[in-house]
Amino acid sequence: MKATRHLFSRLLTALLLSLAAAPVLTSCQAEDSENVNQDRIYTEYSLVYDRAEDKTYARAAFKFGNAAGTALQLTGPATVTVDGDALAFVPLLNYYEKQYAGQRAQATFTYKDVAGTSFVNTVSGLLPAEFPTSFTNLSKTSAYTLTWDGQPLRTPEILDVILDGPGQSDPLQYFQTTVPGATSLILEANKISQVLSGEGKAFMNRTQILPLQQGSSAGGSRIGRYQALPRTVQIQ
């Protein structure tokens, strides 16, 4: 159950970030890209490093019109590669993905649409943000100032923390800051108090969202995301 909630917490974060590093789950089957106006294909390229797995995910998603549009699956002769490697389509999630061992500093995506027009976009500059060793306990009656290990936030960047309490029905608690130059964020007492006492889990993500370097008139985004090592924390 906890493993399922861990996955859900990642998807929840992506949704709350609006233009997320990983496209949100959808129950709809992707449409074929050849059936839509090629100049109305919205593209998302993301580079996500998961510190716990020591694995990098390069992902590309295609939607019709905008970020909330219908998911698209590329049809020949359309292609998408990352650093020359082919990406595999993931049907249930409706995005293309290539996995790499370790952390990659950057990734260059090349997308060619059905009409033969090519677009090249590079995602780079992932900066780490980790929980400090002192982050071991939370009080349900007091706010906590969490100062992460890592550089101050850039513009535009988001630093978010998700608190998953020990109870199976505990609501996930979400905290974030987008203040340029910030080195900490406050975990509010009224949110901490909503989870049960005991051993919980905290997750931290540092995300940068930038516009495309090349794309159709529909636009898109380039997303770099660093996922910190999860931290076990005592809540009392």
Query: 71 and 150 share a domain?
Result: no
pLDDT for res 28: 66
Per-residue pLDDT tens digits for 34-53: 999 999 999 999 999 999 99
Query: 177 and 60 share a domain?
Result: no
Query: 76 and 183 share a domain?
Result: no
Per-residue pLDDT tens digits for 129-144: 999 999 999 999 999 9
Query: 55 and 76 share a domain?
Result: yes
Indicate the pTM of the whole model.
Answer: 0.87
Domain that holds residue 194: 137-208
Share of the chain above pLDDT 70, in %: 88
Query: 57 and 85 share a domain?
Result: yes
Q: How many domains does the chain have?
A: 2
Kindly state whether residue 203 falls inside one of the protein's structural domains: yes
- Of the CA atoms within 13 Å of residue 112, those in its CB half-sphere come to 9
> What CA–CA distance (Å, rounded) separates 99 from 47?
10
pLDDT for res 1: 42
DSSP string, 58-111: EEEEEEESSTTS-BEE--TT-EEEETTEEPEEETTTTEEEEEEES--SEEEEEE
Query: 157 and 142 share a domain?
Result: yes
Per-residue pLDDT tens digits for 53-64: 999 999 999 999
pLDDT for res 154: 96
Q: Which two tokens stand for residue 227?
A: 């996922």
Query: 58 and 158 share a domain?
Result: no
Does residue 69 have a pLDDT over 90? Answer: yes
Per-residue pLDDT tens digits for 197-207: 999 999 999 99
Does residue 12 have a pLDDT over 80? Answer: no
